[in-house]
């Protein structure tokens, strides 16, 4: 019996999945994050090995004929020989003899949501990026510039807009339910509006900027409030524009969406409806990046007829 293995390595967790060539799941493993841009590369590589070892428990790793590592931060592995060697060592250290193939998390996500070779993947999580996929490979991107330079429509953007809306509400002395929730989360006590305004600015700047993403759930939880609804509408518009920028008008290939905001109340359903209306294409939700990566490994062996993971 021959196997394939796929991994989905993000900033906070890594999941490995082993399939047989019929698409049956034989083993799974989970470890810490493995993005070498946000973690020391040696730590990231160790987590890859841990996830692989857990997934292969009780199986003969020599029977793995193909494997794909889908990851955030893949460019560092592909461009830095020293980092690449760490991940190669983790791969072989888990007993694998087949070559290590590294792809982006976008490619793995698209493969998890669609069995077609071409289309668009839209990531709407802490950050935002759209990518064009052709023949199962990423060929171009739009967005993904990070919190300082972009990430429009992302959870970071949503959280920042929630804080900005609250500051505006305090300036007008018109605190609504969204603003009240933001102030509670920032632990700003009751008091004169100007004093609360100063305290909120201080609280928002006290931690790393990316921490503003923590305010995003407050926006979707208060979608009935006009200020929150406006922010959601603008986020959806920005994300739809981002996806559209990777496609020709006549393109009818699928759009696969992934990320925390895809599952957020109010925003996720609105996003998928507007993507479908704008593109006229099927809109699908990415399921499990590790399964997508494993299927890509199977496609390398069996071609387009490779069974989808059960």
pLDDT tens for each residue of 77-114 = 888 899 999 999 999 999 999 999 999 989 999 999 99
How do residues 241-251 score in pLDDT, each as one tens digit? 999 999 998 99
116-145 average pLDDT score? 93
Task: Give the Cβ contact number of residue 210 at 10 Å.
Answer: 16
- The per-residue pLDDT for 150 is 84
Question: 139 with 269, same domain?
Answer: yes
Question: 60 with 159, same domain?
Answer: no
175: closest CA among 193, 201, 195, 191? 193
Helix or strand or coil: residue 67?
A: strand
Question: 14 with 44, same domain?
Answer: yes
Question: 60 with 40, same domain?
Answer: yes
208-223 average pLDDT score? 94
> What is the domain-level CATH number for residue 23?
3.30.420.40
Question: 224 with 140, same domain?
Answer: yes
Total domains in the fold of the chain: 2
Question: 128 with 274, same domain?
Answer: yes
Question: 129 with 84, same domain?
Answer: no
- The per-residue pLDDT for 284 is 96
DSSP string of 134-196?
Answer: ETTEEEEEEE---TTT--TTSHHHHHHHHHHHHHHHHHHT---HHHHHHHHHTTPPS--HHHH
Question: 272 with 293, same domain?
Answer: no
**pTM of the predicted model, to two decimals?**
0.86
Full domain range(s) for residue 45: 3-98+287-305
Lowest mean pLDDT, pick from 48-52, 95-99, 305-309: 305-309
Helix/strand number for the chain, H first, E second? 11, 10
Cα distances (Å, whole numbers) of residue 238 to 31, 128, 143, 243, 249: 34, 10, 10, 9, 17
Question: 149 with 55, same domain?
Answer: no
For residue 256, tell me if it sits in a domain.
yes
For residue 261, tell me if it sits in a domain.
yes
165-179 average pLDDT score? 97
For residue 108, tell me if it sits in a domain.
no
Q: Could you tell me if 132 and 266 are in contact, meaning their C-beta atoms sit under 8 angstroms apart?
A: no
How do residues 178-203 score in pLDDT, each as one tens digit? 999 999 999 999 999 999 999 999 99
Question: 300 with 254, same domain?
Answer: no
For residue 310, tell me if it sits in a domain.
no
Question: 235 with 292, same domain?
Answer: no
Question: 183 with 231, same domain?
Answer: yes
For residue 150, tell me if it sits in a domain.
yes
């Amino acid at each position: 019996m021959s196997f394939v293995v796929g991994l989905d390595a993000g900033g906070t967790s890594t999941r490995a999945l082993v399939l047989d060539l019929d698409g049956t799941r034989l083993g799974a493993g989970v470890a810490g994050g493995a993005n070498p841009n946000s973690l020391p590369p040696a730590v990231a590589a160790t987590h890859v090995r841990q996830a692989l070892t857990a997934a292969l428990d009780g199986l003969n790793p020599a029977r793995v004929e193909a494997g794909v590592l889908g990851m955030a931060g893949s460019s560092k592995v592909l461009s830095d020989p020293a980092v690449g060697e760490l991940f190669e060592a983790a791969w072989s250290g888990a007993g694998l003899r087949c070559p290590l193939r590294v792809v982006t998390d976008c490619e793995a996500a698209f493969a998890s949501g669609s069995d077609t070779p071409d289309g668009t993947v839209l990531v709407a999580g802490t950050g935002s990026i759209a990518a064009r996929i052709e023949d199962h490979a990423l060929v171009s991107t739009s967005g993904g510039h990070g919190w300082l330079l972009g990430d429009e429509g992302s959870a970071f953007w949503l959280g920042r807009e929630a804080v900005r809306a609250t500051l505006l509400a305090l300036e007008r002395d018109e605190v609504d339910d969204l603003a009240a929730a933001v102030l509670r989360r920032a632990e700003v006590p009751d008091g004169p509006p100007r004093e609360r305004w100063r305290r909120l600015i201080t609280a928002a700047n006290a931690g790393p900027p990316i921490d503003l993403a923590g305010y995003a759930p407050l926006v979707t939880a208060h979608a009935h409030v006009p200020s929150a609804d406006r922010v959601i509408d603008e986020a959806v518009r920005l994300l739809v524009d981002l996806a559209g920028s990777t496609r020709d008008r006549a393109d009818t290939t699928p759009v696969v969406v992934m990320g925390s905001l895809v599952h957020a109340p109010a925003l996720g359903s609105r996003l998928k409806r507007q993507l479908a209306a704008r593109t006229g294409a099927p809109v699908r939700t990415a399921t499990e990046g590790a399964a997508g990566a494993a299927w890509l490994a199977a496609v390398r062996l069996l071609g387009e007829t490779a069974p989808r993971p059960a």
